[in-house]
Structure 1
Amino acid sequence: MHFTTLVALALGSVVAGQNNYPNMPVDFLQTTNPVTPLPQGKPWGGATAQNTNPYTNPPNTGVIRSFDFTISRGKISPDGYEKNALLVNNQFPGPLIEANWGDTIQVTVHNEIVGPEEGTALHWHGLLQHGTQYMDGVPGISQCPIPPNGTFTYTFNADLYGTSWWHSHYSAQYVGGLFGPMIIHGPSIANYDIDVGPVLLTDYFHKDYYSLVEDVVSTDFNKVLQPSDNNLINGHNNFNCSTITLNSTAKCTSNAGVATFQFTAGKTHRLRLINAGAEGMQKFSIDGHNLTVIAQDFVPVNPYDTQVVTLGIGQRTDVLVKAPAGYKGKSFTMRSSLAGNGCSITIQPDATAVVYYDTMHTPNTTAWPAFLDSVAHQCANDPISITTPLYPMKPTPPTTTKEIDINFAQNETGYWLWTMNDVSFRANYNDPVFLLAATGNDSYPMDPEWNVYNFGTNSSIRIVISNPGPAAHPMHLHGHNFYVLDVGTGAWDGTTIVNADNPQRRDTQIVPAAGYLVIQFEADNPGAWPLHCHIAWHVSAGLYVTVLERPDEITATKVPSIMAQTCRDWSAFTGGYVIDQIDSGL
């Protein structure tokens, strides 16, 4: 199966009409709307990762990349256990979105979720959405949900470049299958020969997502901690069916198969690692191969070598893997394991795949000791001190600082909920915060459960997150790549900034258990931006705030009429159908 891809990218040679990522399962391939080849050359001109500020004046290629997504229910068995799932174009994982930096991406979404009916919305993880804040895809914040049998077209700019993913932001739908990879090609970061493409790392649950949400947002603490059943690499892994008791209708086979990756001896390969899971922190490694990190989230970094990469949910890391000439004819095990020692809750933590040269055969290789040690003991990101962005930027002094405390407790009705500054978030699907702000209505809190922080005209915002509890949280901020000033256990000393002249930047960072995270960002993107834990169950249980940024300027946004129409459509649907919103809504 083939699809038309981009040609003559600066990142390597790509031939029109060929699949640029032959190691990906065919489920990923976007065939309904093939990408139109660009002319020869670099559409971003003379911009490089070293000399160009990626946040100002992105290129405008004038090219529209169109995709058509139909969301429906179906059955899948990627690890051998058959289950009900939510699918896009009948695919799991969902289709690849691929574009050039500066392109316009259009995704037309048809909501055909029935039996029962559900709304939906899709989020484009990590993109800034400058000028298209209403296309961020978060119901109750940037839009009303797309109602059943409804259609909505997202139109937004590929305003950053690198590796990311898209996913539903309606309840925990993405755990049920609504997610897929996103690649935006841009200036060269480092030299390599072969772009292997996305490597999706996902913990995997056999129960349907709605039943899981019912359990994790409940009054029974014993149900709150739901273990994943398996772990997948690019949608594949075996599951040991003998470990479970099957009912009369359940189907399970223990030899579903694993993903395979063909490498070429003597060549350097680029792998685009994505943690698209629900709860688990991933530790990635390839036996016998060193990894050179070249990007984290949408930020190119000065390369450094390692044998294991840690990815919290929502994080991406691009690595280069040099294949020695002597590896010809050999096979090796690729590993991604869910971090142990209470860090991730799982039944089967280890996902494997096969890296082979020339002829595929079962490998018999040994994991790096550093990988085993990290899986067993490190429930945090790799040290931020080893990361410096290729394009250096120094934070300006903050004009305001907000302290936020994370907590977990029962509310008055006995439900176990996560809070940020003692408030557990709950979305109002019918009144999106950004659309209200665009009409000049920014007198929050209109409802305390919305947990809106109005930062007014502040130009540089610092947020100190304290996490005294036993769980680590991958914190994600929409609309920005933030500076990671410091992170650690205990309490922040109030002064330390790691790599102060050029700190790490990314859009998702883990705050460790019994620890803290200090982030900062320039308030240059007026909008209503979610800041939340990316563990699906934690944001379902309210671990969320909205950063309201430059509200006076939001009123100048030209919001297209389709946004109001979607809200009218949603209102018409809910007028005759009661939504059972059992969680925060996100």
Structure 2
Amino acid sequence: MTLSLSHFPISLALLLAFALFAEAANKTVTYDFNITWVNANPDSAFERPTIGINGQWPLPVMTAEIGDQVIVNVDNQLGNQSTTLHFHGLYQNGTTAMDGPAQVSQCGIPAGSQFTYNFTVNQAGTYWYHSHIHGQYPDGLRGPFIISDPDYPYKDQVDEEVVISLSDWYHDEMATLIPQFINIANPTGAEPVPDAALMNDTQNLTVPVAPGKTYLFHFVNIGAFAGQYVWFEGHNMSIVEVDGVYTDEAEAEVIYIAAAQRYSVLLKTKNETTTNYPIVASMDTTLFDVLPADLNYNSTGWLVYDSTNPNPDPTQLVDAEFNEFDDSTLIPFDKEPLLPDADQIITLDVIMDNLGNGKPYAFFKNITYVSPKVPTLYTAMTTGEDAANPLVYGEYSHSYVLAHNQIVEIVVNNLDTGKHPFHLHGHNFQAIARSDENAGSFDATNSTQTVYPAIPMRRDTYVLYPQGYIVLRFRADNPGVWLFHCHIEWHVDQGLVATMVEAPLELQKSQTIPQNHLDACAAGNTPSSGNAAANTVDFLDLTGANVPPKPLPAGFTARGIVAMTFSCIAALLGLATITWYGLADMGAASKLEEEQRIARMAGEDEVRSSEGSSDAAVKVG
């Protein structure tokens, strides 16, 4: 197979390097990433600071082959922000310290500091890499990561591979948008609406194709918010992979790719070259509270059979009759059967609500995530036998301790009216049940409520529908610390996160924290041992741990906050008006009194002047 990355604006030298990497098996692939600010204008509407690598943006497509050792040397030269890298979808078996979320598996890499990620890829397929700190990746620090497989089951069908990233794009930086979003002035938690949609971090993408060939398209949604409907006009596609899991071929006209999801599809080109065809990605506008009149929520590229022919406008639109492919019907190629009944069931209810500061937050079971003072992995590694006690990780890291090799079931009930793509680090999962919208909650104690498929589909990011539920099952066979969270970045920032602490005592026996990781903690003055409160003496004493704002007083709602806010504003405006009028009246009265005083003085002077003239006359006369 030939991996074609020609549709990304990366240098020929880097492309040749990728080609060389792909030819050698079980090798070491090294990336030196100098992370800096650059300027970019991908939608030709607004130039803004963007996070680049080695002075360039868009970022390089990372590639490796299954079995390779991957080393990524990071030099953070952002100047004003710390950073991290997460290699989304990779299990990091035996290397949980390389997973990347700040204050979970590492400290943030301070500006001016260096950090090394070193891991072996033991899985193939379509992945991506992105920052996992400060809500940072929508500022540009994200790109695809393709891992090839010499035993790929469809390799004999594929003539060429193409990588297409999908993303939503904001003109403002996250350092500006997040404080505006989590703000008392936004009590309903309306997420910022993107300014543009991009393909391969650009618009008007062209993909040259030849007639009568089969192309393997890797689609990666690297966006912060919007799911995207994707289709090729005039062509069907066959799904053959989702989130790194090979599937039996499944024909589809349109697929829905939520934030962080990935699909690989086979596309057979036509045997003639008379027409070029649109590739359309359309943002899911049902996620947006408002739809700006000037927003073009479609991004369009083209299958270019002949560059001398015009590239036509799309004719198909997303409408009320639109039905995307149901990914729950996919069958994994390896036919892994349904896992046994769960040893541990974790039920998480999704709630979007406000805390006592009036700002909007997200909750699992009434807990909104707050980062601990010590990265959770470091707590697991430094608290001895107490690492098996979830108390040491702090209430607001929302940690669950999993026993080694047990079967775990996560039930997520959506009490919210929006969609949520949920992602599990360190694993994929069997998606054994998903309700339609408005189906209510799932009762995990009622074993007859759902008949599960004998061969469930698997992936690592799965969409939960509004006011419905999903049931996910996996085996805890990967000791480490792994997040489970919604992959809409705004909801991560709001706290829709839980932590799976998997086999911590096994973890202590088999893994260590690299010294340069501890050096990054020291450079950022972040403690690297002890419980969530950085207590290294009494691991069960959480005094001083990070906590969220206090809850709202009983009976308050977001609508009540809005009403109270506007009432307060109205009251303040009223007081200001009264004060202004009062001061104006006082000023008028004072002016009148002053005029009357002057008049009286003038009258008295006239009297005195008259009396003086008479006296003078008498004296003269």
- Could you tell me how far 1:364 is from its partner in structure 2? 2.5
Equivalent residue in structure 2 for 1:351, among 299, 310, 327: 299
2:312 is equivalent to residue 364 of structure 1: yes
Structure 2 counterparts to residues 155-554 of structure 1, below 5 A: 155-186=118-149, 187-190=151-154, 191-221=156-186, 224-237=190-203, 258-326=204-272, 328-342=273-287, 347-364=295-312, 366-368=314-316, 372-373=318-319, 382-394=325-337, 395-428=339-372, 430-439=373-382, 440=384, 441-442=386-387, 443-446=389-392, 447-457=394-404, 459-489=406-436, 490=439, 491-492=441-442, 494=446, 495=448, 500-554=453-507
1:30-66 CA-to-partner distances (Å, cap 9, x unmatched) read 36965645668xx4xxxxxxxxxxxxxxxxx2x1000
Residue aligning to 1:23: 7
Residue aligning to 1:118: 81
- Could you tell me how far 1:329 is from its partner in structure 2? 3.4
Q: 1:286 to 1:29 in 2, by over 3 A?
A: farther
> 1:541 is matched by which residue type in structure 2?
Q
- Could you tell me how far 1:165 is from its partner in structure 2? 0.5
Whichever of the two has the greater Rg, that structure is 2
Conserved 8 A contact 1:438-1:557: no
Conserved 8 A contact 1:337-1:350: yes
Conserved 8 A contact 2:420-2:486: yes
C-alpha separation between the residues in 2 aligned to 1:30 and 1:160? Answer: 23
C-alpha separation between the residues in 2 aligned to 1:281 and 1:141? Answer: 26
Equivalent residue in structure 2 for 1:104, among 55, 64, 69: 69
Q: Higher mean Cα deviation, 382-391 or 79-88?
A: 382-391
- Could you tell me how far 1:555 is from its partner in structure 2? 1.0
Residue aligning to 1:6: none
Any idea what SS the aligned residue of 1:449 has?
A: helix
Residue aligning to 2:574: none
Conserved 8 A contact 1:484-1:503: yes
C-alpha separation between the residues in 1 aligned to 2:22 and 2:15? Answer: 18
Conserved 8 A contact 1:462-1:520: yes
TM-score (ref. length: structure 1): 0.83
Residue aligning to 2:110: 147
C-alpha separation between the residues in 2 aligned to 1:35 and 1:389? Answer: 29
Q: 1:567 to 1:28 in 2, by over 3 A?
A: farther
- Could you tell me how far 1:28 is from its partner in structure 2? 10
Q: 1:31 to 1:69 in 2, by over 3 A?
A: farther
**What count of residue pairs does the alignment treat as equivalent?**
513
Q: 1:279 to 1:161 in 2, by over 3 A?
A: same
- Could you tell me how far 1:291 is from its partner in structure 2? 0.9
C-alpha separation between the residues in 2 aligned to 1:393 and 1:566? Answer: 41
Q: 1:583 to 1:207 in 2, by over 3 A?
A: farther
Conserved 8 A contact 2:2-2:160: no
Residue aligning to 2:570: none
- Could you tell me how far 1:362 is from its partner in structure 2? 3.1
Any idea what SS the aligned residue of 1:571 has?
A: coil
1:541-565 CA-to-partner distances (Å, cap 9, x unmatched) read 1000001111221111331222222
- Could you tell me how far 1:91 is from its partner in structure 2? 2.7
Q: Higher mean Cα deviation, 163-172 or 332-341?
A: 332-341
Q: 1:174 to 1:67 in 2, by over 3 A?
A: same
> 1:531 is matched by which residue type in structure 2?
F
C-alpha RMSD of matched pairs (Å)? 2.6
- Could you tell me how far 1:566 is from its partner in structure 2? 2.1
C-alpha separation between the residues in 1 aligned to 2:453 and 2:325? Answer: 18
> 2:285 is matched by which residue type in structure 1?
G
- Structure 2 unmatched ranges of 5 or more: 529-545, 550-621
Any idea what SS the aligned residue of 1:556 has?
A: helix
- Structure 1 unmatched ranges of 5 or more: 1-11, 15-19, 44-60, 238-257, 575-580
Conserved 8 A contact 2:362-2:491: yes
1:176-230 CA-to-partner distances (Å, cap 9, x unmatched) read 0000110000122324333332200001111111111112221222674211111
Structure 2 counterparts to residues 71-86 of structure 1, below 5 A: 71-80=35-44, 81-86=46-51
Any idea what SS the aligned residue of 1:426 has?
A: coil
Conserved 8 A contact 2:66-2:147: yes
Greater share of helix = 2
1:64-96 CA-to-partner distances (Å, cap 9, x unmatched) read 000011111121001112112111223333111
C-alpha separation between the residues in 1 aligned to 2:450 and 2:332? Answer: 15
TM-score (ref. length: structure 2): 0.78
> 1:132 is matched by which residue type in structure 2?
T
Q: Higher mean Cα deviation, 123-132 or 224-233?
A: 224-233
C-alpha separation between the residues in 2 aligned to 1:33 and 1:435? Answer: 36
C-alpha separation between the residues in 2 aligned to 1:168 and 1:389? Answer: 29
> 2:171 is matched by which residue type in structure 1?
H
C-alpha separation between the residues in 1 aligned to 2:13 and 2:198? Answer: 18
- Could you tell me how far 1:274 is from its partner in structure 2? 0.5
- Could you tell me how far 1:498 is from its partner in structure 2? 6.7
Conserved 8 A contact 1:329-1:359: no
Any idea what SS the aligned residue of 1:537 has?
A: helix
Conserved 8 A contact 1:83-1:207: yes
Q: 1:363 to 1:33 in 2, by over 3 A?
A: closer
Q: 1:498 to 1:322 in 2, by over 3 A?
A: farther
Conserved 8 A contact 2:189-2:360: no
C-alpha separation between the residues in 1 aligned to 2:274 and 2:129? Answer: 36
Residue aligning to 2:519: 565
Q: Higher mean Cα deviation, 91-100 or 417-426?
A: 91-100
Conserved 8 A contact 2:282-2:318: no
Residue aligning to 1:17: none
Q: 1:516 to 1:71 in 2, by over 3 A?
A: same
C-alpha separation between the residues in 2 aligned to 1:118 and 1:337? Answer: 32
C-alpha separation between the residues in 2 aligned to 1:360 and 1:285? Answer: 23
- Could you tell me how far 1:492 is from its partner in structure 2? 3.3
Residue aligning to 2:31: 67
Any idea what SS the aligned residue of 1:372 has?
A: coil
> 1:416 is matched by which residue type in structure 2?
P
- Could you tell me how far 1:398 is from its partner in structure 2? 1.0
1:357-413 CA-to-partner distances (Å, cap 9, x unmatched) read 032543236545xx6247x766xx742442010001121221111111010111122
